[in-house]
Structure 1
Amino acid sequence: MELITIKKARVESDLVILKSRLESEGIECFLKNEFTTQLMNYIPTFEIELQVRESDLEKVRKIMSGIENSQDNLI
């Protein structure tokens, strides 16, 4: 199983909404470095990575594109 990073952040809360949205669509998500950043938060180079299975990547792209398009319509 190959995992692909789709978004990075220094704080987990920056990824929570997207992670929840993807999981509501049946896509399993993984947070890489989640605990490392909590333990070593004084080192700014660590980032949490939101990852999905490579097999889900096309579905993820469609969802993320839909999110971006809906945000553009708010402006």
Structure 2
Amino acid sequence: MSSLVTVKRSHLESELLALKGRLEAEGIQCFLKNEFTTQVMNYMPTFEVELQVSDSDLEKVKEVMGALETD
């Protein structure tokens, strides 16, 4: 059974949405952890949204993120 791994964190959900869309276009299922908590409690800087993927997809995620950095 796979577990979820955080691949990127941000205080703003909008910063993660483009990456989430790109990963999903590659067939990688993504989840946003804490997205609703940060919307409700956005005045608290300790809360971050986390983009998570299955640990079985981690190598493919690294490849996609690496390609995005070189573009």
TM-score interval, smaller chain: over 0.9
For this pair of structures, how many residues does the alignment match?
70
Give 1 or 2 for the bigger CA radius of gyration.
Answer: 1
Aligned-partner residue type, residue 46 of structure 1: F
Identity of matched residues, %: 61
Displacement of 1:47 after TM fit?
Answer: 0.2
Normalised to the residue count of structure 1, the TM-score between the two structures is: 0.90
Q: Which stretches in structure 1 are left out of the alignment for 5+ residues?
A: 71-75
Q: Which residue of 2 aligns with 1:12?
A: 13
Give the SS at the match of 1:30: strand
Which runs of structure 1 show a deviation greater than 4 angstroms over 4 or more consecutive aligned residues? none
Distance, in Å, in 1 between the alignment partners of 2:6 and 2:31 is 9
Q: Which residue of 1 aligns with 2:48?
A: 47
Displacement of 1:20 after TM fit?
Answer: 0.2
- Aligned ranges for residues 1-75 of structure 1 at < 5 Å? 1-70=2-71
Displacement of 1:14 after TM fit?
Answer: 0.3
Normalised to the residue count of structure 2, the TM-score between the two structures is: 0.95
Displacement of 1:60 after TM fit?
Answer: 0.3
Distance, in Å, in 1 between the alignment partners of 2:45 and 2:17 is 20
Displacement of 1:61 after TM fit?
Answer: 0.4
